[in-house]
Amino acid sequence: MIVSQGSLQENHLVLTGEVVRSPKQSTSPAGIAHSQFSIDHKSIQNEAGMNRQAFVRIQVVATGELSHLTRELVAGKVIKVSGFINRHESRNGNPLLVLHAQHIEMIN
């Protein structure tokens, strides 16, 4: 069921996954720290009474103070990320779905 609530639009994602490779650190022209990395999420989800394997690899962007936390991340580290999703364009113009982190929790 789709329910319209005027201009209120939710955009919040929580995903647990394994870091694919160490984050790439950068600084914007405005001096804001950014960190980019990808995580792999694998789970079994119930859909229409049946178990289904779910797998997604998603790029994560952490900005500002949160980007400093990502310096501890290495490939294989399991984390829980919450934030909002946004569309970015790759260098070749392809659309990408990116998770903008608002909270990162280390799992292992």
Residue 6 lies in a domain: no
Residues paired with 22 in a beta bridge: none
- pLDDT, one tens digit per residue, over 45-103 is 999 999 999 999 999 999 998 888 898 899 999 999 999 999 998 889 899 999 999 99
Residue 7 lies in a domain: no
How many domains would you assign to the chain? 1
Q: Can you give the residue range of the structural domain that contains 54? A: 13-106
Residue 19 lies in a domain: yes
Query: In the prediction, which pLDDT does 69 show?
Result: 86
pLDDT band (50, 70, 90) for residue 6? low
- pLDDT, one tens digit per residue, over 17-38 is 999 989 999 998 999 999 999 9
CATH of the domain at 27: 2.40.50.140
The structure's pTM equals 0.85
Q: How far apart, in Å, do the first and last CA atoms of the chain sit? A: 38
Residue 30 lies in a domain: yes
Residue 2 lies in a domain: no
Residue 48 lies in a domain: yes
| Strand 13-19 with 24-27, pairing | unpaired
Residue 4 lies in a domain: no
Residue 8 lies in a domain: no
